Amino acid sequence: MQAIRTFFFYLLLSLSALVWCLIGMLCLPLLTSYRARYRFIVQNWCRFAVGLARVMVGLRYEVSGSENIPEQPCVILAKHQSTWETFFLSGYFEPLSQVLKRELLYVPFFGWAMALLKPIAIDRDNPKAALKQVAQKGHQRLQEGCWVLIFPEGTRVPVDQIGKFSRSGAALAVNSNLPVLPIAHNAGLFWPKEGWAKFPGTIQVKIGPAMYAKGEGPRAVAELNDRAFAWVAQAQAQISGNVSLPADAKAKPSV
C-alpha cells in the first residue's frame, strides 16, 4: 500500500510541477516584483509539495527553534539528506536564493522557472569559480534582502553521517557581516537518499541560534564554520542517535 501511495505522490508532484511552472511563466509579466514571483512560483509550490507528502505518504514535520530566526535574512547552513528539506526550506524562508548545481536549470519547465528566481547556480567541476560565484552572487542576494541557503556538505549525506562543511557559507557570512543560521533535521529517515521509497513519520527540524563571527579574516571564517558544524553535529545526534563524523573533524559538538 505504501508503494502505491508513493507512486501517486510522485505522479501528482510531477504533474503539479509541470502545471505550476507553465502557469508561473505565463504570469511572470504580471508579477513585476521579485518577491511576488518567488511567492507564486516557489513558495506556494514547495508548500504544496510538503503538504502532498503529508497527505499521500504520511510525512509530517515538527519545527523547534523558530524563535532563533533573525529578522534580517542571513546565510542558512542546513544538513542535506533528501529532497524534502529543499522543498521545506524554500517554503519556510522567503525569499530564498539557493546554491544549486547549474545543470538543474536545464530541467524542462522546473529548471526554466527556477532560472528566473535568482538562484546561485554553480559549476561543481570548477571549484574555484564556484567559490567566487557564491561569494559574489551570495553577497548580492543578501544585500537584496534574500536568505541564502547553502548545504555545506555539498551533497546528500545519509542520516547517520555528517560530511565535512565547506567554508563558503561561513566566508559569505563574515564578508557580509551577517550571521549563519544552522539547521539540522532527520528527513533522511523517511525520505532516503537512495531509491524511491518514502516512509510515514514525523521529521524533526531543529533551527539553531544565529552565529556571528568572532573577528574577521580566514581564522574567523574557520572558527565560525567549525562552530556551525559542531552545532549541527550535536543536533543531529540528538535527533537521530549517534552520527559518524568525518575523520578530520576537529570541532567538539556543543548545542
**pLDDT, tens digit (0-9, with 9 covering 90-100), for 184-226:** 999 999 998 888 889 999 999 999 999 999 988 899 999 999 9
Domains of the chain (ranges, CATH numbers): 59-240 (3.40.1130.10)
Residue 30's pLDDT band (cuts 50, 70, 90): low
Whether residue 255 is predicted with pLDDT greater than 50 in this model: the reply is no
Closest CA to 228 of 251, 203, 244: 251
Higher pLDDT, 93 or 5: 93
Higher pLDDT, 17 or 117: 17
Would you say 243 and 79 are in contact if contact means Cβ atoms under 8 Å apart? Answer: no
Q: Which of 135-139, 143-147, 191-195 has the lowest mean pLDDT?
A: 191-195
The strand pair at 201-207 and 59-64 is best described as: parallel
Closest CA to 49 of 88, 89, 1: 88
Distance of CA 185 to the CA centre of its chain: 11
Show Cβ contacts of residue 180 under 8 Å, excluding neighbours closer than 6 positions. Answer: 74, 75, 76, 77, 169, 170, 173, 210, 211, 224, 228
Residue 182's pLDDT band (cuts 50, 70, 90): very high
Residue 107's pLDDT band (cuts 50, 70, 90): confident
Cell numbers found for residue 208 = 539553531
Phi, psi of 253 (to 5 degrees): -55, 135
Higher pLDDT, 164 or 99: 164
Higher pLDDT, 33 or 152: 152
User: Mean pLDDT for the chain?
Assistant: 86
Residue 161's beta-bridge partner residues?
A: 244
Cα gap 180→213, rounded to integer Å: 9
Taking the model in full, what pTM does it have?
A: 0.88
* Cis preceding linkage at 95, omega within 30: yes
Cα gap 176→121, rounded to integer Å: 20
Tell me how far CA of residue 140 lies from CA of 98, 165, 174, 176, in angstroms. 13, 22, 14, 9
At 144, the amino acid letter reads E
User: What local confidence, expressed as pLDDT, does residue 170 receive?
Assistant: 95
Distance of CA 111 to the CA centre of its chain: 17
Cα gap 40→22, rounded to integer Å: 12
Residue 31's pLDDT band (cuts 50, 70, 90): low
**Tally of helices (H runs) and strands (E runs) in the chain:** 8, 7
Whether residue 24 is predicted with pLDDT greater than 60 in this model: the reply is yes
Q: Which of 83-97, 108-122, 169-183, 208-222 has the lowest mean pLDDT?
A: 108-122
Whether residue 109 is predicted with pLDDT greater than 90 in this model: the reply is no
User: What local confidence, expressed as pLDDT, does residue 253 receive?
Assistant: 42
Whether residue 52 is predicted with pLDDT greater than 90 in this model: the reply is yes
User: What local confidence, expressed as pLDDT, does residue 251 receive?
Assistant: 46
